[in-house]
Structure 1
Amino acid sequence: MARRRLTKRQRERIAQVQEERRDRLARQALNASEGEEVHQGRVISRHGQHLLVQAVNGQQYHCLFRQNLGEIVCGDKVLWQPVADDQGVVVSLLPRNTVLSRPDYSGRDKPLAANITRLVVVLAPRPPPTGYLTDQYLIAAELIGVNALITLNKADLLSPDEWQAFQQEFSRYENIGYPVISVSAKKEHGLEPLLEHLKGQTSILVGQSGVGKSSLINAILPHRDEAVGALSETSGLGRHTTSVATLHFLDNGAEIIDSPGVRSFRLGKIDRRELETGFREFSPYLGKCRFSNCRHRNEPGCALIEAVEAGNIHPERLKNFLHMAEQLD
């Protein structure tokens, strides 16, 4: 049976009720009495209506959550109440700093992970990367307000000269402020540049299939299989745990979300203005075209075209923008 769609008024009412509940529970958390314990926690993983929540003291609890809370995802901060030694009920979803989402098959945005601070775009010589997909990832990072890191993987597949040429291909991203690093899960100390950038961040790896995200995750988290086994035992999710987004904690203070949900990626519903702001180097030129309704194709006095001709915007970036804008139109 198709899920009944809520009206705007119903969504606003739910948001209001949830905000009131957050305020009430926050007050209860400060003055909790016997039988009214309320705690803050972090969602480690979710499967269906089941959550694994880590409390402030590091202990993990198997929780259910109320359906009127909406989509709760890995990385969310929640308020929960214990109902048994290792079980609880999530009663409120705390405000998110950021959320990474993608459209589902019906076109509605589906959250993938919350409260991330870094999007790690993984590229490799094989399969050959496309600037178009890379730009989609970078736009997503710009629009949700997180740092992006371009990671060139599988350095061991190419000769030194070939690898230098591969790195040079992505120098245009360094020129507009995106850090670009080279890593290899098969070389000694090959992960150190990535681990340094992950430190103190909550990161999620994205990239097309075959670029080596799983190899990097396994190298970064050498005891991942044991952690997944322990998670399965704690949460009661069994084998499903290997196919759900999971938050892992590294010794260097980094947090990384291992999510199978980012194997493919599409931008959600955005308008042309948002698309323009997703290309960070466009910023100095927006609003400076001769015509206010400039489409940046072949109009006279287009500030973006002039910036390309002056070498201030890479022509491939403008080409990708125009193709994406065409899809929006």
Structure 2
Amino acid sequence: MAKKPKLTQRQKRQVAANRKRRLNDKQDTLSAASADTSSLQSGTVVGRFGKHADVEDASGQVARCHIRRTIESVVCGDHVLFDAPDEQQEGVSGVIEIVKDRQSVLTRPDFYDGVKPIAANIDQIIIVSAVMPSLSLNIIDRYIVACEDIGITPVIVLNKVELMDEATLSETRQQLADYESLGYAVYFTSCKTQQGIETLNGILKDKVSIFVGQSGVGKSSIINQVLPDAQELVGAISDNSGLGQHTTTAAKLLHLPAGGDLIDSPGVREFGLWHLPVERVTWGFIEFRDFLGGCKFRDCKHLNDPGCLIREATEMGKISPARYASYHKILTSMEENRPSHSGPF
């Protein structure tokens, strides 16, 4: 019987480190399992950055907390049980022990970390677009597919309407009418003239919302309209927890004056769909659903395949040609952007 090769000193150190990590993880698991939850407080994660999170309790006090290593992820909007300090202290003074079940979770694909959660317990996603820099219906469709995939209601907002003349506005309304016919809410806003801002406040009231959209469409301007003291509130959270934040990289949850919460996270600046199976993207186009499973071939690509019900429905005017073309544009983009097998995955 051949002898096993001797381990090098480096390999021995690695084995010892792995054994120590497994023992620590086991101890953490036992500690979490045996924790007396009656001694823990309920709270909501209102800030997440690095290895720590800010948790707000029922009284509005914010404690900066460590995150138990056995917890897979913590994001803004999470409802948690945490071990709070006996008295309000500066610095990292609490520990998140348990993350409660999420009602919903918004995720994005990452080339190196797989699918990453970026916000939890969201009621609606506000898709902000504008004619400047340019109105992209395909990007709106991408966001809608992401919403449909995770079951979060999308709301479409066309901002900067003051930049459009009557002809452009009429054309744009006609383009967005396809979405209204599908049951999606569409609103027109202007931060300069205040058009639609009061209506938007009503939409946000008593809900947890998150804004998405291209750079330059005015997301920050709208946030400043519905939450005029946003920067001051971010600073107040930092002061309350005793530590500052890097606001350009930190995710945060802010309370709206009229009721409801707004999650502002860098993670929503880009939305890829390449992690989704093609079938989920097809399902994300809700007008396709009545025809799914009825095509002649099970592997129908819904393009030039004979007996394709979706293509036929488009030719008959039952499906918008623009949406049909957008669907195939999304699939092409997914294939181009999908990581190769030799990549990080």
Whether TM-score is above 0.5 comes out as yes
TM-score, structure 1 as length reference: 0.86
Match of 2:110 in 1: 104
* One-letter amino acid matched to 2:94: G
Trace 1:205-220 onto structure 2 (pairs within 5 A).
205-220=211-226
| Deviation (angstroms), 1:68 | 2.2
C-alpha change, 1:18 and 1:55, in structure 2 (3 Å) is farther
Structure of greater Rg: 2
Match of 1:77 in 2: 79
C-alpha change, 1:232 and 1:59, in structure 2 (3 Å) is closer
* One-letter amino acid matched to 2:240: T
2:272 pairs with 1:301: no
Q: Give the root-mean-square deviation of aligned CA atoms.
A: 2.4
Counterparts of 2:107 and 2:264, CA distance in 1: 15
SS of structure 2 residue aligned to 1:277: helix
SS of structure 1 residue aligned to 2:70: helix
Match of 2:331 in 1: 325
Trace 1:152-167 onto structure 2 (pairs within 5 A).
152-167=158-173
TM-score, structure 2 as length reference: 0.83
1:75-100 deviation line (CA, Å, top 9, x unaligned): 11111012342331101111111111
Match of 2:199 in 1: 193
The answer to whether the Cα contact below 8 Å between 2:187 and 2:196 also exists between their aligned partners in 1 is no
SS of structure 1 residue aligned to 2:253: strand
1:299-325 deviation line (CA, Å, top 9, x unaligned): 222110111012111112222222333
The match for 1:255 among 261, 267, 277 is: 261
SS of structure 2 residue aligned to 1:97: coil
Counterparts of 1:130 and 1:18, CA distance in 2: 48
C-alpha change, 1:214 and 1:19, in structure 2 (3 Å) is farther
Task: Name the stretch that deviates more: 318-327 or 150-159.
Answer: 318-327
Task: Name the stretch that deviates more: 70-79 or 101-110.
Answer: 101-110
Trace 1:234-253 onto structure 2 (pairs within 5 A).
234-253=240-259
* One-letter amino acid matched to 1:220: V
| Deviation (angstroms), 1:276 | 1.2
SS of structure 2 residue aligned to 1:238: coil
Counterparts of 1:188 and 1:101, CA distance in 2: 32
Match of 2:9 in 1: none
Query: Structure 1, unaligned stretches of length 5 or more?
Result: 5-13
Query: Structure 2, unaligned stretches of length 5 or more?
Result: 1-13, 15-24, 336-345
SS of structure 2 residue aligned to 1:61: strand
Trace 1:55-134 onto structure 2 (pairs within 5 A).
55-86=57-88, 87-106=93-112, 108-134=114-140
* One-letter amino acid matched to 2:315: E
Counterparts of 1:19 and 1:115, CA distance in 2: 28
* One-letter amino acid matched to 2:79: K
Counterparts of 2:332 and 2:295, CA distance in 1: 19
